[in-house]
Chains A and B, each alone.
Chain A
Amino acid sequence: MNSRDAILGRIRTALADVPAGEQPHDVPVPRHYRRSHAEPGEDTVALFAERVADYRATVTRTDRAGLSAAIAAALTLRGVEQLALPGGFPVELLPAGRWQWHTEPLDIPGLDALDGALTLAAAGIAVTGTLVLDTGPGQGRRALTLVPDYHLCVVRADRIAADVPEALARLDPTLPLTFVSGPSATSDIELDRVEGVHGPRTLDVIIVDPALPEQP
């Protein structure tokens, strides 16, 4: 007998107490929990901004007209110049200046030589202060927002879900997803929180409201 059949057989034997006719859905799962922990009528964009900032990420809110300037301001403040730019990022939003935008193909050493990455996000989660990237347009491969030390993420206000259940319902699990809540961190040494281990040590977030034009 192969191991697959052996394990499945052992499971069936172990579950001898489960009535033969019982179907998975016969086992009740009470779902009395809230769909969202935001207060009814609460400004979820403001909540998102506050919760992201709790992780010591920097959050800016702007509108479409102010976006280029907000990007320029963040990049200037951080002193980053060589940036990875994923395909599908609306280039008309890029500020003019000394910044160099690097597009695919980018290999790993090439990415490692860059200062940072500028991307969009697929979703935000207000209650937990989380950004979600799904590798869609303007977000790039997962390595783009991982290898360089700085991540500037632009999220549309209308992409911000109130809480985890709503966000998961909007996302496509067949895509590789990365949930980002603040910069990389560790508490492994005496439980002292240190921001920045292997992922980007600095995370800046720009919320754009009203929305950007639909992403391609």
Chain B
Amino acid sequence: MTARDPAPAPGSRGVVWLGAPSFPDAARIALGDTRLRANLKRATATIRDKRVAVASELDDWEDLRDAAAAIKNRTARHLDHYLVRLEESVTAAGGTVHWACDAAEANRIVTALVQATGEREVVKVKSMATQEIGLNEHLADAGITAYETDLAELIVQLGDDRPSHILVPAIHKNRTEIRDLFTAEMGRWGQPAPENLGDDPRELAEAARRHLREKFLTAKVAVSGANFAVADTGTVVVVESEGNGRMCLTLPETLITVMGIEKVIPTWSDLEVFLQLLPRSSTGERMNPYTSTWTGTTDGDGPTEFHLVLLDNGRTDTLADEVGRQALACIRCSACLNVCPVFERTGGHAYGSVYPGPIGAVLTPQLVGIEQAASLPFASTLCGACYDACPVKINIPEVLAHLRAEAVEAKRTANRLPTAEAVAMKAAGKVLDSPRLLAAAQKAAALGGRAVARDGRIGRLPGPLRGWSDTRDTPAPPVESFRTWWRKNKEGER
């Protein structure tokens, strides 16, 4: 890792952990931003309704979720097998596979591959994995400019900003802010924005089309992520909307794909499950405009060189946790963000990670180590909405509760003294372990919640749950949710 890597946290494994204030502090700042809250509320409500509409078209939605969760479970339990198989099939199809233990190694590999082409510019398809490793900054240090080509990522890049949502990373910006940004910044990166650019989304999209066109048509190297990679066939899949992905995957001579090791799926036919679940859960469409699949290289069509970088960067540590490993099943649809009452109020930046919202609260602490992100597992009301929305059935509340206990334990070990939080967690742990106590606590919380919630927020929970609410201001949970969650997830196991 070079000295100029983006704000690496001490001891972190290189995940973009931005050294932001802890979640409660960041959330407090975000909550004061009324414009942000209004943007978010409107956006998440819109997308929530669309998702529910297209998901309810499929009367076997639960069966699809069960299949998806099971495929991911099969893959995780035999991840070594599937990765070796993927390596074989990609190699047989003309691609080259690289393995990267951490962010620094992945950055080194990609940088060297770009340098080998002699190029100083790359075009990029939106990719969580490359954000996670801070690739753009690393390339910049090596004198290579990376152009983000997804509209939202372009907005984020031009604004020297950070993404705040997995699917729509610029959701915190409204049209006027975007217009001003395009007018001020596009010229510094290439084709300037047209004179007197208006703030109609149509005009703004047109400006982005013109701005990026020359880059697409001349780029020799592209960097992408992957939504899925099929072990059996070596086929890599990118799901997108704008066509920027197709441009990057098709026109350049060299394609470098950086993929978390958990993205592998066993067979081509397994894709039938995910291609039905992902667009519906993500953008609320029956199918996204464009999905590209490719297997190695093809003579006379597309890149002549294909490199697949398989990234660990904390994933094997996550895999080692029998409760926490289910977070690796995430297909980054962002449904859990859009239903989360906490996310809706704080926005994505408060989570201090490229993975915001409920999935970020369970994934980031596992990727970077719990001691680096101890407040994140508390960034939730455990209302269970994320679990219900998740197309791969990740039991986020269960992982949250598990990580809370770990966070407290880590703190206790560090302090060698029981903190107030540890005492509260111990009480809460007792409650969580006893259905009778929980039911009572839930009833009290629901009653109390309704009684004390002002403006949809709860200052203090009564009874045994008070320990949590004493240290954080909690959005009001739906009245039934905690118990529903308990019933679904815990009682069956007893």
* Cβ-based interface call for B22 (8 A): no
With A14-B320, A186-B205 as given contacts, are A164 and B289 in contact (CB-CB < 8 Å)? no
- The interface residues of chain A lying within 8 Å CB-to-CB of B243 are 146, 184, 197-200
With A8-B84, A37-B57, A109-B217 as given contacts, are A198 and B212 in contact (CB-CB < 8 Å)? yes
* Cβ-based interface call for B405 (8 A): no
Contact of B201 with A190 in the complex, beta carbons under 8 Å = yes
* Cβ-based interface call for B444 (8 A): no
Q: Please measure, in the bound complex, the distance between the C-alpha atom of A53 and the C-alpha atom of B298, giving whole angstroms.
A: 32
- The interface residues of chain A lying within 8 Å CB-to-CB of B205 are 186, 189, 194, 196-197
Which among A13, A127, A173, A200 has the highest number of chain B CB atoms within 10 Å?
A173
Q: Please measure, in the bound complex, the distance between the C-alpha atom of A135 and the C-alpha atom of B250, giving whole angstroms.
A: 12
Please give me the residue from chain B that is nearest to A197 by CB atom: B242
User: Which residues in chain A, 166-192, are within 8 Å of chain B measured between CB atoms?
Assistant: 168-169, 173-192
One of B47, B204, B217, B317 near A108 (C-beta < 8 A):
B217
With A168-B271, A197-B243 as given contacts, are A173 and B79 in contact (CB-CB < 8 Å)? no
Contact of A17 with B287 in the complex, beta carbons under 8 Å = no
* Cβ-based interface call for B140 (8 A): no
Segment at the B interface, from A22-30, A60-68, A93-101 = A22-30
Contact of B272 with A164 in the complex, beta carbons under 8 Å = yes
CB A200 to nearest CB in B, in angstroms, measures 8
0 or 1 for each of A153-164: is its CB under 8 Å from B? (1 = yes): 000000000001
Contact of B302 with A142 in the complex, beta carbons under 8 Å = yes
User: Which residues in chain B, 242-266, are within 8 Å of chain A measured between CB atoms?
Assistant: 242-244, 246-247, 250-251, 261, 266
One of B152, B168, B286 near A127 (C-beta < 8 A):
B286
User: Which residues in chain A, 191-212, are within 8 Å of chain B measured between CB atoms?
Assistant: 191-192, 194, 196-200
Q: Please measure, in the bound complex, the distance between the C-alpha atom of A182 and the C-alpha atom of B272, giving whole angstroms.
A: 20
- The interface residues of chain B lying within 8 Å CB-to-CB of A168 are 268-269, 271-272, 275
Contact of B151 with A7 in the complex, beta carbons under 8 Å = no
Contact of A173 with B295 in the complex, beta carbons under 8 Å = yes
Contact of B293 with A189 in the complex, beta carbons under 8 Å = no
0 or 1 for each of B322-355: is its CB under 8 Å from A? (1 = yes): 1001000000000000000000000000000000
Contact of A174 with B295 in the complex, beta carbons under 8 Å = yes
* Cβ-based interface call for A15 (8 A): yes
* Cβ-based interface call for A20 (8 A): no
Contact of A197 with B244 in the complex, beta carbons under 8 Å = yes
* Cβ-based interface call for B178 (8 A): yes
Contact of B99 with A2 in the complex, beta carbons under 8 Å = yes
Contact of B217 with A112 in the complex, beta carbons under 8 Å = yes
* Cβ-based interface call for B472 (8 A): no
Please give me the residue from chain A that is nearest to B70 by CB atom: A29
Segment at the A interface, from B58-66, B356-364, B414-422 = B58-66
0 or 1 for each of A11-51: is its CB under 8 Å from B? (1 = yes): 11111111000111101111111100100000000000001
Chain A interface helix/strand/loop/mixed: loop
- The interface residues of chain A lying within 8 Å CB-to-CB of B39 are 190
Q: How large is the interface on B (under 10, 10 to 19, 20 to 34, 35 or more residues)?
A: 35 or more
Q: Please measure, in the bound complex, the distance between the C-alpha atom of A16 and the C-alpha atom of B319, giving whole angstroms.
A: 10
- The interface residues of chain B lying within 8 Å CB-to-CB of A88 are none
Q: Please measure, in the bound complex, the distance between the C-alpha atom of A196 and the C-alpha atom of B295, giving whole angstroms.
A: 27
* Cβ-based interface call for B5 (8 A): no
User: Which residues in chain A, 57-106, are within 8 Å of chain B measured between CB atoms?
Assistant: none
Which among B175, B261, B320 has the highest number of chain A CB atoms within 10 Å?
B320
With A2-B99, A7-B99, A175-B298 as given contacts, are A27 and B286 in contact (CB-CB < 8 Å)? no
- The interface residues of chain A lying within 8 Å CB-to-CB of B70 are 27-30
Q: How many A-B residue pairs have CB under 8 A?
A: 247
With A112-B217, A191-B43, A196-B205 as given contacts, are A8 and B212 in contact (CB-CB < 8 Å)? no
Q: Please measure, in the bound complex, the distance between the C-alpha atom of A201 and the C-alpha atom of B267, giving whole angstroms.
A: 33
Contact of B312 with A7 in the complex, beta carbons under 8 Å = yes
- The interface residues of chain A lying within 8 Å CB-to-CB of B80 are 8, 11-12, 15
Q: Please measure, in the bound complex, the distance between the C-alpha atom of A32 and the C-alpha atom of B58, giving whole angstroms.
A: 13
CB A47 to nearest CB in B, in angstroms, measures 11
Contact of B77 with A18 in the complex, beta carbons under 8 Å = yes
CB A80 to nearest CB in B, in angstroms, measures 18
Contact of B149 with A198 in the complex, beta carbons under 8 Å = yes
CB B111 to nearest CB in A, in angstroms, measures 16
Contact of B82 with A176 in the complex, beta carbons under 8 Å = no
0 or 1 for each of A136-157: is its CB under 8 Å from B? (1 = yes): 0000011100110000000000
* Cβ-based interface call for B83 (8 A): yes
With A51-B286, A164-B272, A165-B269 as given contacts, are A198 and B209 in contact (CB-CB < 8 Å)? yes
CB B84 to nearest CB in A, in angstroms, measures 7
One of B152, B206, B246, B266 near A199 (C-beta < 8 A):
B246
* Cβ-based interface call for A125 (8 A): yes
Contact of B301 with A141 in the complex, beta carbons under 8 Å = yes
With A190-B201, A198-B244, A199-B243 as given contacts, are A173 and B151 in contact (CB-CB < 8 Å)? no
CB A149 to nearest CB in B, in angstroms, measures 9
Contact of A3 with B105 in the complex, beta carbons under 8 Å = yes
CB B443 to nearest CB in A, in angstroms, measures 35
* Cβ-based interface call for B304 (8 A): no
Contact of B171 with A32 in the complex, beta carbons under 8 Å = no
With A14-B316, A143-B250 as given contacts, are A176 and B285 in contact (CB-CB < 8 Å)? no
* Cβ-based interface call for B233 (8 A): yes
Q: Please measure, in the bound complex, the distance between the C-alpha atom of A128 and the C-alpha atom of B202, giving whole angstroms.
A: 25
* Cβ-based interface call for B487 (8 A): no
Excluding A12-B80, A184-B243, 9 further A-B contacts by CB distance (< 8 Å) are: A15-B77, A30-B70, A55-B289, A129-B286, A142-B301, A168-B269, A169-B269, A179-B290, A185-B289
Closest 7 CB pairs of A and B: A199-B243, A14-B320, A198-B243, A10-B316, A27-B74, A128-B287, A197-B242
List 11 A-B pairs, Cβ < 8 Å: A3-B100, A7-B310, A11-B261, A29-B74, A33-B60, A33-B273, A180-B290, A184-B241, A184-B243, A186-B242, A197-B242
